[in-house]
Copies of this chain bind each other. A is one copy, B any other.
């Protein structure tokens, strides 16, 4: 499955979330990630993200899922920051 993930967490937890998301998906913008992932790996990512996030601080992670990447077109206006950033 193809997913887009975007987090919005307090600055204190940004580094941890960045590192976590990069270990599952491609980093395409500040707090935006995309890539192919299995259902099981996505569950794992969500569980690990919940451990980092603080819901009282309104931290959130939005995941858009598509069964097929072809159903989505991506367009970048402005600077493409990380064109060749790969999953670590």
Q: Name A residues whose Cβ lies closer than 8 Å to a Cβ of B.
A: 4, 6, 8, 28-32, 46, 49-50, 53, 55, 58-68, 71-81
- DSSP class of A's interface residues: helix, strand, loop or mixed? strand
Given contacts A4-B4, A60-B80, could you give 18 more A-B pairs where the C-beta distance is less than 8 Å?
Answer: A6-B6, A8-B81, A30-B31, A46-B77, A55-B79, A58-B81, A60-B76, A60-B81, A62-B74, A62-B75, A63-B74, A64-B72, A65-B73, A66-B71, A66-B73, A67-B71, A71-B72, A72-B72
**Chain B nearest CB, measured from A49 CB (Å):** 6
**Chain B nearest CB, measured from A88 CB (Å):** 20
Q: Is the CB of B65 within 8 A of A29?
A: no
